[in-house]
Chains A and B, each alone.
Chain A
Amino acid sequence: MRIQLALFASLTQYLPETENGNRLSAHAQLVDLPDGMTVGQVIDRLGLPDEPRIVFVNNRHAPDEYVLDEGERLAVFPPVAGG
């Protein structure tokens, strides 16, 4: 399956190497993954640091157990705040 993967702030450096054309923005790109992967499995595969994080799928908060589907957008943030 192909999904949009977006990693922000200190996590941006974990975006995998990609071919030209797959990069969507400074923080997001298209990635191909085996069908049926969960959010948690993608995070493990990327090697993200083991610390609290905020996860969105399609602009809504999602748990690590969420099973991703073709065309969905996964976005991961480290703990951030401000205002």
Chain B
Amino acid sequence: MRTILRVNMSDLSITKEPLPDKWANYGGRALTDALVFTEVPADADPLGPDNKLVIAPGLLGGTTAPNGGRLSVGAKSPLTLGIKESNSGGQVAHSLARIGIAAIIVEGAPADAAARYVLEIGPDGEATLVRHDELAGLGNYATVDELTKGFAEEGRYSTMTNGPAGEMLLPGAGIAVSDPNGYPNRFAGRGGLGAVMGAKGLKAVVVNDAGDAYLEHTDKDAFNAAVKKFAAALREHPVSGTGLPTYGTNVLANIINEAGGYPTRNFSSGQFEGVDGISGETMREITVKRGGNVKHGCHTGCVIQCSRYYVHEDGSYWTKGPEYESAWSLGADCGIGDMDSVAALDRECGDLGIDTIEMGATLAVYMESGKLAFGDGPGALSVLKEIRKGTELGKIIASGAEATGKAFGVTRIPVVKHQAMPAYDPRPIQGIGVTYATSTMGADHTAGYSITANVLAVGGTVDPLKSEGQAELSKNLQIATAMLDSLGLCIFVAFPVLDIPAAFEAIGEMVTAHTGKTWGADELMQLGKEVLTYERLFNTHAGFTAADDRLPAYFYTEKLPPHNVVFTVSDEELDAVFDFVPATAAGMGIS
């Protein structure tokens, strides 16, 4: 029996409820969406008591499904002002699922805004709120050190922590999730959910699942067979089996740069002359030379192993191996081509608890204002340190790219629905532009990763410089991604799934054997459509219209070198991406 843990911060009560039958097949993003859609008024103040922070492992969380330990965190976003599902690796999803928790709902707001609470969840699922005001203002690393002193000897634990940016209610803030070694270096980073956690007075969640076993399955033998089939496909595919484990996600730097879509100096060029200094190849070389770890999973059961640790010259831990998006945002987008400078910025973002994509884009906008030179790594670090001090500059910066652009008179601000674009320029890679424009999440690459067919020749090929086929590509990827996010599978499984039929079959077989209900391709895709339908309806209720499903105007008029192209997908094509929503909503009985 999966349960919902309801934590009310107004009266500090905690109750356990059975997961409603109608949502028995939901987990992860589907469940956070269903709960936010049902319980949070679309016009709620994102930082007020009516908003709810919902935390949910996927449907396969707590099992041995390869790469099945992703965590969904949902709420109304203080950044986009729409619904948000921010997806994280780390160990918490498995920890929660193993003790039978389908979701945690954190609601209300504490009477004393200065209070800091820690939600402690024991191996039996028993939860308590403990006041820890002494943790106020601590960075994520110091917070975890303090919190886990008492747990370290008791066995397995995992944490979600909120850094100073979230405590200050700043809309760039994310929530840190601990990795298998306890480092708070995985993130539900996007959309300002750290600010929602801060508004609830919740400094941390600690889950101790010592002694709990993996979950039982309806058909154990069939489940294990499907796991074996799925793992074999992940190992067989060259991307998940070789490229990602060897170089990490930052292996993308050179190929996106080669394709002319690597946004440089606030999206003013598609190629960065300093890419060699921050590429995945260089990062691996430096890390190996210094004795750092270059291959591990961000959660147990990961077969791909794309995580790594970036270390100081003496070999000591500095930060997680910056992901492609972070190395780009804090590197190329700011004109910074030095890996140690990027690592220093990544570490500061991680400790402050702030989204690296939003912060890199924000620093680039700030640089364009003339307040700081492009390429000034130490200067960028000084600006980030203003956030911890709580200065006016720090608060503007931590409010994101749009707020910073407006404050400093910059007109070229690369955001959609108030959220900064990630590491692909939508002009020479038009498929990702469709996803940025239409995603319910604001500009988000993971929502529908069209880079696959546009650049990487995974799942077919679609010419990235042309508009033809991009809307259909993005639509299908958005549906499939919403499904994977609900099962708790890492979206990197999509690379083999798009190319190897057995990998896709194995997903249905795992879910069928686990739940006892038959899951084929139709049921899996229906799940994805239901997820997107909740999100589209919430955003419509919150006031979003077709005008919000567009890129900023300059992407249609300013040509990007080296290809010298603009974004050309038509409004009609963008507006057709979610054409399935009315029928799906009618079938779900929601409006």
Residue B249 is within 8 A (CB to CB) of chain A in the complex: yes
Residue A59 is within 8 A (CB to CB) of chain B in the complex: yes
Residue B157 is within 8 A (CB to CB) of chain A in the complex: no
Whether A79 contacts B281 by the Cβ 8 Å rule is no
Q: A25-B276, A26-B281, A60-B465 are in contact. Are A79 and B258 (CB under 8 A)?
A: no
Q: How far is the CA of A26 from the CA of B278 in the complex (A)?
A: 12
| Interface 9-residue window, one of A4-12, A14-22, A29-37, A38-46 | A4-12
Interface size on A, residues (CB 8 A): 23
For chains A and B in complex, what number of residue pairs have CB atoms within 8 angstroms?
97
Selected from B244, B260, B271, B281, the residue in CB contact (under 8 A) with A81 is: B244
Selected from A12, A51, A59, A81, the residue in CB contact (under 8 A) with B258 is: A59
* B324 surroundings in chain A (CB, below 8 A): 82-83
* B276 surroundings in chain A (CB, below 8 A): 25-27
Whether B258 contacts A80 by the Cβ 8 Å rule is no
Which residue of A is nearest B491, CB measured?
A83
Residues in A24-75 with C-beta less than 8 Å from chain B: 25-27, 51-52, 54, 56, 59-61, 75
Whether A59 contacts B260 by the Cβ 8 Å rule is yes
* B463 surroundings in chain A (CB, below 8 A): 61
Whether A56 contacts B258 by the Cβ 8 Å rule is yes
Q: How far is the CA of A59 from the CA of B563 in the complex (A)?
A: 8
Which residue of B is nearest A81, CB measured?
B239
Residues in B232-275 with C-beta less than 8 Å from chain A: 237-239, 242-244, 246-252, 254-255, 258-260, 271
Measured CB to CB, the closest approach of chain A to B293, in angstroms, equals 18
Q: How far is the CA of A12 from the CA of B285 in the complex (A)?
A: 13
Whether A9 contacts B246 by the Cβ 8 Å rule is yes
Residue B446 is within 8 A (CB to CB) of chain A in the complex: yes
Residues in B452-496 with C-beta less than 8 Å from chain A: 452, 455-458, 461, 463, 465, 491-492, 495
Q: A54-B255, A59-B259 are in contact. Are A83 and B446 (CB under 8 A)?
A: yes
Selected from A8, A51, A59, A61, the residue in CB contact (under 8 A) with B238 is: A51
* A81 surroundings in chain B (CB, below 8 A): 239, 243-244, 251-252, 451-452, 456, 458, 492, 495
Whether A27 contacts B250 by the Cβ 8 Å rule is no
Q: How far is the CA of A54 from the CA of B491 in the complex (A)?
A: 21
* A8 surroundings in chain B (CB, below 8 A): 254-255, 258, 281
Whether B461 contacts A61 by the Cβ 8 Å rule is yes
Measured CB to CB, the closest approach of chain B to A79, in angstroms, equals 4
Selected from B246, B249, B457, the residue in CB contact (under 8 A) with A83 is: B249
What 0/1 readout, one digit per residue, does chain B (489-514) give for beta carbons within 8 Å of chain A? 00110010000000000000000000
Which residue of A is nearest B241, CB measured?
A79
Whether A6 contacts B281 by the Cβ 8 Å rule is no
Which residue of B is nearest A6, CB measured?
B258
Whether B238 contacts A77 by the Cβ 8 Å rule is no
Name the residue among B457, B492, B563 with the largest chain A CB count within 10 angstroms.
Answer: B457
Q: How far is the CA of A82 from the CA of B458 in the complex (A)?
A: 12
Q: How far is the CA of A22 from the CA of B341 in the complex (A)?
A: 29
Measured CB to CB, the closest approach of chain A to B231, in angstroms, equals 18
What 0/1 readout, one digit per residue, does chain B (424-467) give for beta carbons within 8 Å of chain A? 00000000000000000000011001011001111001010100
* A9 surroundings in chain B (CB, below 8 A): 243, 246-247, 251, 254, 280-281
Q: How far is the CA of A69 from the CA of B305 in the complex (A)?
A: 41
* A10 surroundings in chain B (CB, below 8 A): 242, 246
Whether B251 contacts A80 by the Cβ 8 Å rule is yes
Whether A80 contacts B282 by the Cβ 8 Å rule is no
Residue B562 is within 8 A (CB to CB) of chain A in the complex: yes
Selected from B244, B457, B563, the residue in CB contact (under 8 A) with A82 is: B244
* A80 surroundings in chain B (CB, below 8 A): 239, 243, 247, 251-252, 255, 456
Measured CB to CB, the closest approach of chain B to A39, in angstroms, equals 14
Q: How far is the CA of A83 from the CA of B89 in the complex (A)?
A: 13
Whether B457 contacts A54 by the Cβ 8 Å rule is yes
Whether B239 contacts A56 by the Cβ 8 Å rule is no
Q: How far is the CA of A79 from the CA of B247 in the complex (A)?
A: 12
* A78 surroundings in chain B (CB, below 8 A): 238, 242-243
* B457 surroundings in chain A (CB, below 8 A): 52, 54, 61, 79
Name the residue among A6, A60, A80 with the largest chain B CB count within 10 angstroms.
Answer: A80
Measured CB to CB, the closest approach of chain A to B570, in angstroms, equals 23
* B250 surroundings in chain A (CB, below 8 A): 82
* B244 surroundings in chain A (CB, below 8 A): 81-82
Q: A60-B465, A83-B445 are in contact. Are A52 and B255 (CB under 8 A)?
A: no
Measured CB to CB, the closest approach of chain B to A80, in angstroms, equals 4
Q: A27-B254, A80-B239 are in contact. Are A59 and B562 (CB under 8 A)?
A: yes
Measured CB to CB, the closest approach of chain B to A34, in angstroms, equals 25
Q: How far is the CA of A60 from the CA of B428 in the complex (A)?
A: 10
Residue B306 is within 8 A (CB to CB) of chain A in the complex: yes
Residue B338 is within 8 A (CB to CB) of chain A in the complex: no
Could you write out 27 A-B pairs with CB less than 8 Å apart?
Answer: A6-B258, A8-B281, A9-B247, A9-B251, A9-B281, A26-B276, A54-B455, A56-B259, A59-B563, A61-B461, A77-B258, A78-B243, A79-B237, A80-B239, A80-B247, A80-B251, A80-B252, A80-B456, A81-B252, A82-B244, A82-B251, A82-B306, A83-B252, A83-B324, A83-B445, A83-B451, A83-B492
- 10 tightest Cβ-Cβ pairs between the two chains A and B: A82-B249, A79-B238, A80-B243, A81-B239, A82-B252, A59-B260, A80-B251, A26-B276, A8-B254, A75-B258
In the complex, given contacts A8-B254, A79-B242, what are 19 additional A-B residue pairs having Cβ atoms less than 8 angstroms apart? A9-B243, A9-B247, A9-B281, A26-B276, A26-B281, A60-B465, A77-B258, A79-B457, A79-B458, A80-B247, A80-B251, A80-B252, A81-B243, A81-B452, A81-B458, A81-B495, A82-B250, A82-B280, A82-B323
